[in-house]
Structure 1
């Protein structure tokens, strides 16, 4: 009985992701829709962790790339700490953060390198 319930939940989640992808593709195109679906999946199923900003780099002269790269050390509740890059911060947050600030992020334990920003914890 429990196996059937879990299968039903997995099917509904898969259907939700499919409908979300189809809708986002219609509005934003395939590249943007895949990015938004990945973020939605991390927000829905991800594990929240504390992260510390280690390095901030401004990438000048690259109009296609994001204008900044922030390296963070993620400290999950369970498991080992890891270092990754964060490039999808809101511009208002990017302008106010500095090395050493802490923030909350979410990531999938199966693929911890893909991290999304949740909220800033401290600004001095």
Structure 2
């Protein structure tokens, strides 16, 4: 399921990056586990949208994207839920040089299943 979460983040970055732009995937160790960063050179995310970005069916202002690039508003919410189920966090921010960055922080050992 983690692969699904990362695929959703990369697909989202590609969808919102203009032709000729760059999408970067980085994997870095951290003292608590691992950090996966998905960065793009797209238009970034309006500050007003950041608090709601991981809500199901939420979409950033539809006038900003053409219909071919619009999703269902579920990909980021699903990614967020999967990451949380593995004991991690998912954060979104704008890059100072433009574009967006999504950071997945995962612990070295996932939480024990209640099953």
What's the TM-score once normalised by structure 1's chain length?
A: 0.23
- Larger proportion of helix: 1
Query: Which one has the largest radius of gyration?
Result: 1
What's the TM-score once normalised by structure 2's chain length?
A: 0.24
